[in-house]
Structure 1
Amino acid sequence: MSQSDTCFDYKHIWHPYSSMTNPVPSFSVISAKGVYLKLQNGKNIIDGMSSWWSVIHGYNHPILNKALKKQIKKMSHVMFGGITHPPAIKLCKKLIALTPKKLDCIFLSDSGSVAVEVAMKMLIQYWQSLGQKRRLFLTIRNGYHGDTFAAMSVSDPDNSMHKLYNNLLPINLFANAPISSFNESWNTSDIISFQEKIEENSLKIAGVILEPIVQGVGGMNFYHPTYLKKIKILCDRYCIPLIFDEIATGFGRTGKFFAFEHADVVPDILCLGKAMTGGTITLAATLTSRHIANTISKSKIGCFMHGPTYMGNPLACAVANANIKILNTNQWKIQVSNIEAQLVKHLLPLMNHPYVVNVRILGAIGVVECSRLVNMFLIQKFFVKHGVWIRPFKRLIYIVPPYIIHSHALKKLIDVIEKALNNRKLFI
C-alpha cells in the first residue's frame, strides 16, 4: 500500500469503534496464512484474535478455499425469497444435526447482530400471535449482543459502548450479573436479582437473552454453569422463551461445541455466527423450536416479517458446510484442550503481576484484566513491533487464537503480553 493510500485510509475510511478526527493507526495487511498476518513491510505477525473469534482454522485454509472456489463457479449469490439451493439445505441439515433436537427451524442471516435482531423479533411476533403485546426482554448486566438497535437494547445499558444511545433504545430489564466464576463454588445469592426481575415482570417479558457462560466484550467474564441451569428453571416455570447468544462462543471456543453444553441446558432460540464459516465470509443463523415457528406462522399475518437481501448466501453456506466438515473430525477438541493447557501454564502466572487484577481462562480464551486502562494508540504499536496482533479494550488484554496455533506461537503471544504489562507507558 502506497503512502497516498495510507493517507487516504486515515482521512476517509472509518474503522470499527474509531474516530475520524483522531483515529487509531491501522496496519496494512496484504496477505494471511495459518496464524500469520503479513504486513505491507513484509513482516509477519501472529494473530491472537482469530479476526474477532472467527478464523478458527487459520487463514487461507485449503479446504475452505476449495469450497469457495467450487461454489463461485456455480453462483455466488441468488435471492432466498421464493428460491432455495443445495448449499443452504445442506447447511441447515448440518446445523440441525449439531444442535439439540428441539431446535429444528432455521433462519439464515448475514451477521451476528442481525441474528439477535431476528431472535427478538421472533419472540415479539410470537406473543402477538398469542394475543399478547409483550415487548420487554430480560438479561443480565455486563452483556454484549451486537451493535444494531435491538441488540444494543439488551447490551449493558450503563457500562457498554452503547451508553450514548440510551435515550433512543427500548428500555429492557437488567438483572445483576452473576459473581460466581466458572471454576469457583456456586453462590446461591447470584440468582436472586434475576429471580426478582422475572417474578415481578413475568407477564410483560417476551423473552430472556443471555450469552451462555462467557460474557464477551461486556467484560470477558466466565460465570458458573449453575447460573444457566437456574435461569432455565425460572424461564420454564413462567413459560418465557430463552435465547442463547452463541455468536462468539459457538463452534468449540470454550472447549464444548456450544457453551451452553457446560450447563446441559437447551434454549428455545439459538443465535450463531462468527466462526460458522471459519472466518472466510459473513453468515449467521437463528435456530428456534417448531412450536415458536408454527405459532408465528399460524398468526393472522401468516409469516415471519424479516428477509435480508443476502439471506442464505450460497457462497457463505458452501464454505460453512466445509467448515463444519472440518469440525466434525473433532480435531478441534484436542487443539482447544492444548491451548487451554498452555494458557494455564504460562498465562495464569501473570495473576501475580502488580498491574494485573485477574486472569481468566476457558478453552481457547485467555483474559488478562489489568488495573489500569490500556493506551490503544501505544499498545497496538507495541504489539505489532513485537510481532503479534492483539486488540485490547478498556482494561482487558485478551487472546482468542486460531485453534491451529502451535505452542511456540502461543507462547510468543503470552510473552509479549507480559512485556506489555512491564511497560507502564502503555497504560493510562
Structure 2
Amino acid sequence: MTARSAVWHPFTQHGLDPPATAIVSGEGACLETADGKRIVDAISSWWVITHGHRHPAIVAAVRQQLDKLDQVIFAGFTHEPAERLAKKLIARAPAGLAHVFYSDSGSTSVEVALKMALGFWRNIGEPRTGVAALEHGYHGDTIGTMSAGSRGVFNDAYAPLLFDVVRIPFPYAGLEQATFDALDAAGRTGNLAAFIAEPLIAGAGGMLIYSAAALAGMKRICERHGALFIADEVMTGWGRTGTFFACEQAGIAPDILCTAKGLTGGSLPLAATLASARIFEAHVSTDRARTLFHSSSFTANPVCCAAALANLEVWDSEPVLERIEKLAEMQEAALHALSDPRFENPRRLGSITAVDLKVADQGYLATVGLRLRAHALSKGVLLRPLGNTIYVLPPYCITENELERVYDAIRSAPGAVA
C-alpha cells in the first residue's frame, strides 16, 4: 500500500478522491506531470492563469525583484512596486475608486471590503450593520466571506460562526424585477450597509449568467438607499467576461471593488480591495479607533507586486483583449458544436463557457462531477466540474488545437460517465 501523503489538499475528500497528480512544470496553457504527460489546463488552475503559465515577462520581473527586496513589513513602510501598482490599478478601475488596500487572496480581499463597509458607517456616526448578497454567490472561505456567500455544503459545518445576510434572488432573465424588489426592500429598512455581488456571472454557484442591465439596476437601487455596492471581481476581472472588469459592461462604478486571481497573471498570490475616497476618508482620523484593522504578514509583498506590475505591462504591450475576443469566438463555436442531447443550457460570457449534463443527481456534490473530472484527466485535460456543470475557463493563450482537445474530452463525457 502506498503511504499517504502528509499534505491536506483544499476542497478534497481524502476518503474518496484519488491521489493528487504531481505536476513538475507548466508552460502556456499546459501542465506537465512527473511522468511527462501534458495536460491542457482548461480552468486556468482555479481561474488564476491569464496569459499562460510562466509568462516570460512576469517570470523575469519576479527574478529581478528578488534580487532587490523580498519582503518588508507594510505597516509604517512602503516600497516602489506597491506604490506604482496602486496607481496603475486605479487608472484601470472604474471611475471613483481612489485607494488600494492589499491582501493575499480573493477571500481576504472580500473580507477587507466587508470590514471597510461596516467601518465606514460606524466612523461617520451612522452605524448601519446590514449586509445583502446576491443569491448563488461565492465570495471565499473566511468567516465574513462564507457569511456573504450562499449557504450550503461549503459552510454548513461552520454555521454557528456566520452572521445573517439578506439574500437577494438571482436576476434570471425575465425575473429581474423580483431581484430589484427584494434589494429595494432591504434598502428601505435604513440599515443596509452594503450589497455584494459577482458582476454578470456567479462562478462557483454554477456559472450562472445575468445581464449588464440587471447589474446596473442593482447599483441604482443601492444608490437610492445610500448602501455601498461591493463588486466581487475576483474571478470576473482581468478580462474573463470580455472586458478588463465586468462592471464596465454595465457602465457602473462600485464603491468597493475586490480583485485577486488574475492580478499577477496567476503567478503569485496577491489581492487588492479598491475603495472610493469617501470610504478611505471615513477611516482617516486622529482617533486610532477609526483605523481599518486588517493585515497579513505578507501584505503588499514586493515580489508579488512586481509580478502584478509585469502582468499590467503585458496588458499594455500585448493584444490581450484581441486574444480574449478570438478565444470567445472559438469557445462559442466549440460550445454549440456539442450536439449530444444530454447536454443542456449551453452558455458563454466572454472567454467562459458552461454546459449542464442531464443527470438525476445534480448540484455541487453530484457524484458525476468526480467521474467527469477523472474522465477529462484520462484525456489529458484538467477540468473541475461544479457537480453536473462542466465549464471551460482557459488561459487566453490556449491554441485552437488545445481547445479542441478540451471539447473532445467533453463530447465523450456523457458516454464515459453514464
8 Å contact kept, 1:297–1:304: no
TM-score of the two chains, using structure 1 as the length reference: 0.92
Task: Tell me the distance in 1 between the aligned counterparts of 2:346 and 2:318.
Answer: 28
Task: Tell me the distance in 2 between the aligned counterparts of 1:230 and 1:92.
Answer: 29
Task: Tell me the distance in 2 between the aligned counterparts of 1:289 and 1:408.
Answer: 44
2:388 is the alignment partner of 1:395: yes
Matches within 5 A, 1:62-101: 62-101=56-95
2:265 is the alignment partner of 1:287: no
2:225 is the alignment partner of 1:238: yes
2:155 is the alignment partner of 1:166: no
Task: Tell me the distance in 1 between the aligned counterparts of 2:337 and 2:279.
Answer: 47
8 Å contact kept, 1:48–1:400: yes
Task: Tell me the distance in 2 between the aligned counterparts of 1:299 and 1:211.
Answer: 35
Matches within 5 A, 1:56-135: 56-135=50-129
Moved segments of 4+, more than 6 Å: none
Quick one: structure 1 residues 18 and 299, their matched pair in 2 at CA, closer, same or farther if it must change by over 3 Å? farther
**How far apart are residue 378 of structure 1 and its match?**
3.1
2:263 is the alignment partner of 1:263: no
Q: SS at the partner of 2:39? A: strand
Q: SS at the partner of 2:161? A: coil
**How far apart are residue 374 of structure 1 and its match?**
4.8
**How far apart are residue 190 of structure 1 and its match?**
4.2
Matched with 1:335 is: 323
**How far apart are residue 383 of structure 1 and its match?**
1.3
Matched with 1:177 is: 170
Q: Tell me which amino acid in the other structure corresponds to 1:334.
A: E
Aligned residues: 411
Matched with 1:32 is: 26
Matches within 5 A, 1:234-383: 234-298=221-285, 300=287, 301-329=289-317, 331-350=319-338, 352-372=339-359, 373-383=366-376
Matched with 1:197 is: 186
**How far apart are residue 299 of structure 1 and its match?**
7.3
Task: Tell me the distance in 2 between the aligned counterparts of 1:293 and 1:410.
Answer: 44
Quick one: structure 1 residues 197 and 24, their matched pair in 2 at CA, closer, same or farther if it must change by over 3 Å? farther
Q: SS at the partner of 1:328? A: helix
TM-score of the two chains, using structure 2 as the length reference: 0.94
8 Å contact kept, 1:129–1:299: no
Equivalent in 406, 410, 415 of residue 417 of structure 1: 410
Q: SS at the partner of 2:162? A: coil
8 Å contact kept, 2:130–2:194: yes
**How far apart are residue 132 of structure 1 and its match?**
2.9
Quick one: structure 1 residues 355 and 164, their matched pair in 2 at CA, closer, same or farther if it must change by over 3 Å? farther
8 Å contact kept, 1:28–1:40: yes
Task: Tell me the distance in 2 between the aligned counterparts of 1:299 and 1:186.
Answer: 48
Q: Tell me which amino acid in the other structure corresponds to 1:198.
A: G
2:173 is the alignment partner of 1:149: no
**How far apart are residue 88 of structure 1 and its match?**
0.5
Task: Tell me the distance in 2 between the aligned counterparts of 1:359 and 1:24.
Answer: 29
Q: SS at the partner of 1:70? A: helix
Identity, % of aligned positions: 34
Q: Tell me which amino acid in the other structure corresponds to 1:284.
A: A
Task: Tell me the distance in 2 between the aligned counterparts of 1:235 and 1:424.
Answer: 45
**How far apart are residue 384 of structure 1 and its match?**
1.7
2:379 is the alignment partner of 1:386: yes
The farther-off stretch of 85-94 and 325-334 is: 325-334
Task: Tell me the distance in 1 between the aligned counterparts of 2:103 and 2:415.
Answer: 44
> RMSD of the TM alignment (CA)?
1.7
Matched with 1:408 is: 401
Q: Tell me which amino acid in the other structure corresponds to 1:153.
A: S
**Unpaired segments ≥5 residues, structure 1:** none
Equivalent in 197, 200, 211 of residue 213 of structure 1: 200
Q: Tell me which amino acid in the other structure corresponds to 1:193.
A: A
Quick one: structure 1 residues 162 and 371, their matched pair in 2 at CA, closer, same or farther if it must change by over 3 Å? farther
8 Å contact kept, 2:132–2:165: yes
8 Å contact kept, 2:95–2:253: no
- Residue by residue over 1:101-136, the C-alpha shift from the partner in whole angstroms, topping out at 9 and shown as x without a partner, is 311111011111000000000111111112233222
Q: Tell me which amino acid in the other structure corresponds to 1:257.
A: F
- Residue by residue over 1:342-374, the C-alpha shift from the partner in whole angstroms, topping out at 9 and shown as x without a partner, is 111121232x53322311111110111122235
Task: Tell me the distance in 1 between the aligned counterparts of 2:80 and 2:184.
Answer: 45
8 Å contact kept, 2:180–2:221: no
Quick one: structure 1 residues 370 and 105, their matched pair in 2 at CA, closer, same or farther if it must change by over 3 Å? same
8 Å contact kept, 1:64–1:322: yes
Task: Tell me the distance in 1 between the aligned counterparts of 2:199 and 2:299.
Answer: 26
Task: Tell me the distance in 2 between the aligned counterparts of 1:231 and 1:160.
Answer: 27
8 Å contact kept, 1:96–1:103: yes
Task: Tell me the distance in 1 between the aligned counterparts of 2:85 and 2:309.
Answer: 6
Task: Tell me the distance in 1 between the aligned counterparts of 2:250 and 2:127.
Answer: 31
**How far apart are residue 34 of structure 1 and its match?**
1.0
Task: Tell me the distance in 1 between the aligned counterparts of 2:402 and 2:40.
Answer: 7
Task: Tell me the distance in 1 between the aligned counterparts of 2:4 and 2:38.
Answer: 24
8 Å contact kept, 1:30–1:39: yes
Q: Tell me which amino acid in the other structure corresponds to 1:251.
A: W
- Residue by residue over 1:163-216, the C-alpha shift from the partner in whole angstroms, topping out at 9 and shown as x without a partner, is 332332001100111111xxxx785444223222322x2x21111111010111
8 Å contact kept, 1:91–1:320: yes
Task: Tell me the distance in 1 between the aligned counterparts of 2:334 and 2:106.
Answer: 32
Q: Tell me which amino acid in the other structure corresponds to 1:94.
A: K
- Residue by residue over 1:308-343, the C-alpha shift from the partner in whole angstroms, topping out at 9 and shown as x without a partner, is 111010000001000001012351211111111111
Task: Tell me the distance in 2 between the aligned counterparts of 1:347 and 1:167.
Answer: 42
2:209 is the alignment partner of 1:222: yes
